[in-house]
Amino acid sequence: MNALMPASELAGRPVVTMAGEDVAQIKDTVFESAAGRVAGFTLSGRGLLSGPLRKSLPWSGVLALGHDAVMIPDEDVFERRGRVVARSEAQGGAVVGARVLTDTGTALGEVVDVVIEIEGGTARAVGYEIDPSEALGGKRRRVYLSLPETLAVSGEALVVPALAADFVAEDLPGFAETVRAFRDRLRREA
């Protein structure tokens, strides 16, 4: 694992060309529906009165994603906004704010953020930051829940295997080991 970060931390991050031009900023992260990979980003302009742009940045156009900026070769990598957003349409809606339920009907909490893993040339969702329900110890601070490869998602609920409740971490640094352990368990049971 290279890096884990909440997707919300990408919002507002500047998009910079190799020539050093500050051309946009990240508005939202778009995930591909099937694999949870980052498909790209919707963009907004830079500056106080700038709004959403009609173009988006596909993940394939990203050279580097750093703590301070997203690097692209030039603005030619931008696509029409609808092309990147269309890759997420089968996802069933926004996941932030959705209830998290196990496949046995236990409510685990509510999604606050998506945790992404950036590894090599890919970025994908590996889990969720959630406000826990009583099933996970109640109203303690937020926790991180591992994400299996496949799950059901709608705009209202996220359904995970009951096994996922055993793979919860209370902080992002500890979550990396939790994700590894969850993947290992799923492989053994497959």
pLDDT of residue 90: 44
Strand partners, 159: 101, 152
Which residue ranges of the chain lie beneath pLDDT 50?
A: 1, 90-92
Distances 44 to 47, 80, 161, 179 between C-alpha atoms, Å:
9, 13, 36, 32
For 23, the 3-state DSSP assignment is strand
Where in 18-87 does DSSP place strands (E)? 22-31, 38-44, 52-58, 64-65, 70-72, 79-80
pLDDT of residue 63: 94
pLDDT of residue 74: 96
- Asked whether the CA dihedral 120, 124, 126, 129 is positive or negative, the reply is positive
User: How does pLDDT run across 164-174, given as a tens digit for each residue?
Assistant: 888 888 888 88
pLDDT of residue 57: 94
Helix segments in the chain, DSSP class H:
81-86, 172-189
C-alpha distance across the termini of the chain, in Å: 22
pLDDT of residue 149: 54
Does the pTM surpass 0.95? The reply is no
